Amino acid sequence: MSKLFKGLERIEEARERITGVSFMAGLFEGKPDFDLLLPPEEPAEERRAGEAYCKKIEAFLINHVDSDEIERMAKIPDTVLKGLFELGAFGMKIPNQYGGLGFSYKNYGRVLTLMASWSNILALTVAVPQSIGIAMPILLFGNEEQKQKYLPCVAREAISAFALTEPMTGSDAANIQTEAVLDSTGSQFIVHGEKLWCTNGPIARFATLIARVPAKRAHRDGKSVWVPVPEGKGAEDLVHTAFILDMHQAGVQIRQRCQFEGCRGIENAHMTFQDVRVPVENVIGEIGKGLKYALIILNVGRAISVPAICLGMAKQAWQPTLDRANSRQTFQKPIGERQTQQMRIGQMAASLFAMETLALLVWHLADHKQYDIRIEAAIAKMFCSEKTIHLLKDAQIIFGGMGYETAESKRLRGEPGFGIEQLVRDAEMYRIGEGATDVLRPFVAREGLSPHLDRARTYFDERVTGIERIREFVRLLRFYIPWYWRQWRRNSLSSRLEMRHPKVRSTLRYAERASRRLARAIVYAMVMHRAALRDDQGRQNRIEAVGEDLLTIAATVLSAESKERTAGRHEAWDLAEEFFRNAKERIDRNIRELLRNRDRILTAIGTRALHGDYPSLSSGIIRRGLNEYLPKDKR
């Protein structure tokens, strides 16, 4: 059934089945366990430690970091990086015994949110080494010698990076071409290839390098493993493997510091490797597990770093936007008194509340190791990045012409130098980085479809015919007939205190019904479309979208209940209920359109456009194709 997701075969091989408890896995099967969204409370001493550290970081940012200078010079000063190392900011997720602060994911997220509210570029520079640099893969998969050697270094003095993406692969991580070949002595690998968009690459001392190793199968301790072959002779395959790369090693060359629409202070590299020698002891974990490791460590960035940075950026824009709406006069009246802007700000408020509650929930789940949060992590990343873009664009509309002008230009004539246009430019990167939205949606849908795909694997196999296919069909009927009837029976909510609130109960009952409707609709879609579902990203996107909204509904309503019960704050219900009203409309529409929609018509138009069937759309201009923008010597 990996054919259902054509082009993802290698990723499918690297993907592990859900191993811990997962709220989303149950939700896609029509059995959401809302108790899973209420893990044990955060220890008070842990929260106090995080809040105390946030005060230190806040003082450092105010006194030593000029975010406007970072934007203007497109560079983070070395003194700033040194100061953050002294504060331990690059070692927040590294345990104390290895020189780090040993923070929880929740505290790590809080600190990144605070930093991003001052400078999202600085927050990103700090996050990358701890999310996808060498610290996390060594912590999860490295040996004790590697931990002792490298973790104290990256916690206190050395920046690290992540080298996965290549010019011709992008999000298609399975098809990277960089190779690491074991030399004839068996003591080191020789690396050739290139990597693109390596964040922190130009300033990194180390990098997590994912490369393909010529290897063959062998049996050790009763299991099959990949073994690298000297000089690639007799290799059965090129298998993805993770390495600790010393960026000072001969043959590593930074070819370019990439420049982007926004994120001007980011250090991002195009780099090449020519005869780079990497000792065998720098292999992280097992040969052939590199893609699996990459997918796992990317979950940290998706769950914590990107949502935190996006949340910080959105919160940074919130108060200046309110101030602008209250002070900007049009026709003798503040625009904040106009219904259009009030509705816009109301929607921004509901989105910001939903972003924060979802991010905090996923961080909290990440701190409890029995949870498998890969689906929740992907959803948090998509939701927060997409909502941040919409929120910031709405803020820019409220600022009007001042929202299109740069902060520096406004400051020159004495206007408040708030750079909403910079935030709008910067935000787009977080939609793309660490798993673009259009890649993560099918990923989430794949997890939702997984139980059904596994059960129907033999039946959908095109090689199975005749009696065997009939047997498989009968077997599936025996399972799905009782399964189907269960999807019409309501699952009761628990009697926990949080669930007794009438607004919580009514909202979660709707979410539970919608979960069963979604589960039924997924099976209907599989029966109706079978193999055609493999390329039907419209339906895959709707599966993800419903799951995303149901998770966020549950997060917001439980957060509103908690704020009311513990702090007497009733106003959170305004925001939770507004998000629920909008989400309910989207959910009902997406479930209906999972079965019947007009995607085929729009797809046909897109296909014809790609084949050049609408030449008039390029008429009346000086027509130039993409290759005509190449440098003249390369055309």
CATH number at residue 101: 1.10.540.10
| 218 DSSP β-pair partners | 225
Residues 139 and 262 in one domain: no
Percent of the chain scoring above 90 in pLDDT? 80
Residue 42 three-state SS: coil
Residue 1 has pLDDT above 50, yes or no: no
Catalytic residue (one of 434, 447, 498, 544): 434
Which element (helix H / strand E) includes 279? strand 268-279
On whether both 393 and 406 belong to a single domain, the answer is yes
Please, which pLDDT band fits residue 171 given cuts at 50, 70 and 90? low
Average pLDDT over residues 591-618: 94
Q: Tell me if 66 is assigned to some domain.
A: yes
User: How far does Cα 497 stand from its chain's mean position?
Assistant: 32
416 and 473 both lie in a single domain: no
Domain total of the chain: 4
Q: Is 458 inside a domain boundary? A: yes
Last residue of a domain, one of 439, 474, 498: 439
Domain shared by 132 and 89, yes or no: yes
* In contact, 219 and 194? CB cutoff 8 Å: no
261 and 386 co-located in one domain: no
For the cut 90, the answer to whether the pLDDT of residue 207 exceeds it is yes
**Of the listed ranges 16-20, 65-69, 107-111, the one predicted with least confidence:** 16-20
Residue pair 81/136 in contact (Cβ under 8 Å)? The answer is no
Contact 212, 177 (CB under 8 A): yes
Q: Assign 16 a pLDDT band (cuts: 50, 70, 90).
A: low
How sure is the predictor about 15, in pLDDT bands with cuts at 50, 70 and 90?
Answer: low
Helical axes 120-131 vs 420-432, angle rounded to 10°: 20
User: Are β-strands 223-228 and 268-279 bridged in parallel, bridged antiparallel, or unpaired?
Assistant: unpaired
pLDDT digits over 243-270, tens only? Answer: 999 999 999 999 999 999 999 999 999 9
Domain edge (last residue) among 144, 159, 174:
159
Q: What is the number of alpha carbons within 13 Å of residue 103 lying toward its C-beta?
A: 27
- Nearest of 419, 350, 418 to residue 387 by alpha carbon: 350
Average pLDDT estimate for 115-136:
95
CA-closest candidate to residue 530, choices 592, 471, 464: 464
**328-347 pLDDT, tens digit each:** 988 889 999 999 999 999 99
Q: How confident is the model at residue 6 (pLDDT cuts 50, 70, 90)?
A: very low
CA angle 564, 570, 573 (to 5 degrees): 100
Return the pLDDT at 2. Answer: 43
Rounded Cα–Cα distance for residues 44 and 126 (Å):
26
Higher pLDDT, 1 or 492: 492
Whether residue 8 is predicted with pLDDT greater than 70 in this model: the reply is no
Instruction: Judge if 180 and 287 occupy the same domain.
Output: yes
Query: Is 8 domain-assigned?
Result: no
User: What's the pLDDT score for residue 527?
Assistant: 83
* Helical spans, DSSP H, in 242-373: 290-300, 306-327, 339-366
Type of residue numbered 463: R
Q: Are residues 460 and 544 in the same domain?
A: yes
Domain presence at residue 128: yes
Q: Are 210 and 330 part of one and the same domain?
A: no
Residue 335 backbone zone (phi > 0: left; psi -120 to 50: alpha; other: beta): alpha
**pLDDT above 90 for 164:** yes
> If you average pLDDT over residues 578-594, what whole number do you get?
96
Give the span between the Cα atoms of 172 and 359, in whole angstroms: 26
- Examine the pLDDT at 466 and tell me if it is beyond 90: no
Mean residue pLDDT across the chain: 92
- Given 416, 439, 462, the domain boundary residue is 439
Please give the residue range of the domain that contains residue 389. 298-439
Please report the sign of the dihedral spanned by the C-alpha atoms of residue 533, residue 539, residue 544, residue 547. negative
Residues 326 and 471 in one domain: no
In the prediction, which pLDDT does 10 show? Answer: 47
Segment 230-247 shows an average pLDDT of 95
Give the pLDDT confidence of 481-535 residue by residue, as tens digits. 999 999 999 999 999 999 999 999 999 999 999 999 999 999 998 888 876 777 7
The C-alpha angle 194, 195, 199, rounded to 5 degrees, equals: 155
Q: What is the mean pLDDT of residues 27-47?
A: 95
- Phi/psi at 168 (nearest 5 deg)? -105, 5
Secondary element (H or E) of residue 284: strand 283-284
Q: What percent of the chain has pLDDT over 70?
A: 97
For residue 78, give the 3-state DSSP assignment.
helix
Residue 334 lies in a domain: yes
Tell me if 462 is assigned to some domain: yes
In angstroms, the CA 620 to CA 635 distance is 24
Q: Does position 562 have pLDDT exceeding 90, yes or no?
A: yes
Asked if 161 and 129 touch (Cβ cutoff 8 Å), the reply is yes
452 and 540 together in one domain: yes
Q: Do 168 and 279 belong together in one domain?
A: yes
In a domain, 308, yes or no: yes
From the centroid of its chain, how far is CA 520? Answer: 28
User: How many C-beta atoms surround the C-beta of residue 222 within 10 A?
Assistant: 5
Q: Report if residue 6 sits inside a domain.
A: no
Tell whether 284 and 318 lie within a shared domain.
no
Name the DSSP class of 246. Answer: E
Tell me, what's the pLDDT at 3? 44
CA distance 304 to 138: 18
| Token pair listed for 331 | 């026709």
Active-site annotation holds for 462: no
- Quickly state the pLDDT bin for 462 (edges 50, 70, 90): confident
Residues 295-334: tens digit of each pLDDT = 888 887 789 999 999 999 999 999 999 999 999 988 889 9
Residue 14 has what pLDDT? 47
For residue 7, the model assigns a pLDDT of 40
CATH of the domain at 263: 2.40.110.10
Q: Which two tokens stand for residue 449?
A: 């479809």
Whole-structure pTM value: 0.93
Q: Torsion angle of alpha carbons 139, 183, 167, 603, nearest 10°?
A: -80
Give phi and psi for 366, each to the nearest 5.
-65, -30
